[in-house]
Structure 1
Amino acid sequence: MLLALVVLAALVLLSVAVGSRPVGWSDIVAGLGGASDTLGEAAVTKRIPRTLLAVVVGAALGAAGAVLQGVTRNPLADPEILGVNMGASLAVVIGIAWFGMSTPSSFVWVAIAGAAAAAVFVYTVASLGRGGATPLKLALAGTATSAAFASFITALVLPRGDISGNVRSWQIGGVGGASFETIRLVVPFLLIGFAVCLLTSRGLNTLALGDDVASALGERVALTRAGAAVGAVMLCGASTAVAGPIGFVGLVIPHLCRLLVGVDHRWLVPFSAVAGAALLTAADVAGRIVARPSEIDVGIVTALIGAPFFIHIVRRQKVREL
């Protein structure tokens, strides 16, 4: 954990220093102090909220991924693959297109509601038929739901030229439009969601033994699963509201963290949060370096990283339902 925090701190400093305009140490120090007299200091001042947003959103997605994989006992679980992020996106787009929502505060509440509805819908669909909600059925139901929601979003946005540009840019997922006001708005929701996930982490360890064994050990299976899911949905919905649907962070990070700290969720959840923050910050920096003087949105970078990793997991698991 200490090493992960050191790496995260180094990436935060790199994110503040790297961009389309080169800056020196004097600019960084002055920018951190709030000065913006020179172009370099002004650039640093703009990068600070962007970096902080990448940290909090990455931490939220990493922790949510670890919890969702524990709740579903599904190694393929991810807020993007299970349709949770896309459900939040659809809810926000409906709010913008039909109800004229424009304030970040309304986006957060609507996104959380949409994420919750999507999670319930995907789990219900996957539970139908023989065998219940197996890993393959959850992945298929989530992928199909995400595709359907994406189609609905396109149908809503295409006739609306007044919102299409902003919505499409937001749909890619990015942290370029960060502000301290947005961060202050979303942090309470993320803290509550993270606290709920930590409180249920011991129960997730018991759920890993199977529902019958967990019940025999005195665990309230339904309550634990519902509580953990609520925490993960809050993390996904709030992060999607401010940064768009960023995928694959919640898939990649928990798998890597298990190699380092094991399967105990009391360690896995906080470690996944730190590692998720580091990954999203690094992806944001990479997007700025590769396309300089322009940039690639962080959602595209995480997709380039996560898609091959997803294929690797599927091949390694040799999905039994096939």
Structure 2
Amino acid sequence: MPSTAANAAATLSVAPMMDWTDRHCRYLHRLLSRHVLLYTEMVTAPALVRGGALHLLDYDVAEHPVALQLGGSDPAELAQAARLGATVGYDEINLNCGCPSDRVQSGTFGAILMRDPGLVAECVAAMRSAVTVPVTVKCRIGVDDQDPEEVLPEFLARIVAAGCERVTIHARKAWLKGLSPKENRDIPPLDYDLVMRMKGLFPHLHISINGGVETLAQAEALLESGLDGVMIGRAAYHQPADILASADRRIFGAGVDRTAEEVVEAMLPYIEAHLTGGGRLHQITRHMLGLFAGRPGARGWRRVLSEGATKPGAGPDLVRAAFAQVTALAPDAKAV
């Protein structure tokens, strides 16, 4: 798939989320939307280059357009990892400069890289020279006691000069000391206005905003305000149908709305293939728990899957039994 696929899809994207946006999650999200840009969980460059963990690059061809997010701080190693990702067909390579976890800090990558824009620029340049697909960056507005008004423009200028084609800005600081990764997602205040000012300073740079977006209507409003893209994280995971099922029509002006019922039916062959290959049902269904969020029968759907999917022999019949919890309260729903 040409690299322009990721650029076009970046108008709306689902954030890379550790332990969540694995290949099964992405397959589910792709069934809901043909056009949104999907991201892998962060994969560390050392794991690929030194550890040979190439299985971390596995994905289904149906996931396109799909981007690989890398973690690391060594330009040569990131270039090698980027090349590995591009070789297997990822449409974009993204550098993580936003994750605040202790594990990431100890590896000198993630949000701590906001302190060293020169090194980030070296990393981007090395990755850019290694691949032909877009090289992008996901960052925060700053870390700890940095003044975002000062550091963010410099950071963006350095990575753009190095060849970064798009940037996604999580519109919060990251506090590397004193806040947990979970608290860093909520406690630091959002500063959408600062991100908007960056668009004014860098009019030719595609800037996507991330952080605090919980509805598709919010995303539409941010796009109308002049930003190039919106990245949605937890809301897209916990209420995937609410965010993604009408995204093709509302955001991209193409395609028709999908329904959660249609997606459950479409997941069954995928589940069968996964089980045949030795996989377990819960590895897939844990990502499906929010499909009917806010709808009658949603609690029963979650309960049946949560209680049964880890049991030996659990398979498509359990998914059908869970779906019966929805159809029992919504008679118009089609059985699968």
Which band: TM-score by shorter chain? under 0.3
TM-score normalised by L of structure 1:
0.25
The structure that is strand-richer by fraction is: 2
What's the TM-score once normalised by structure 2's chain length?
Answer: 0.24
Higher normalized contact order (CA 8 Å, seq sep 6+, divided by chain length): 1
- Structure that is richer in helix per residue: 1
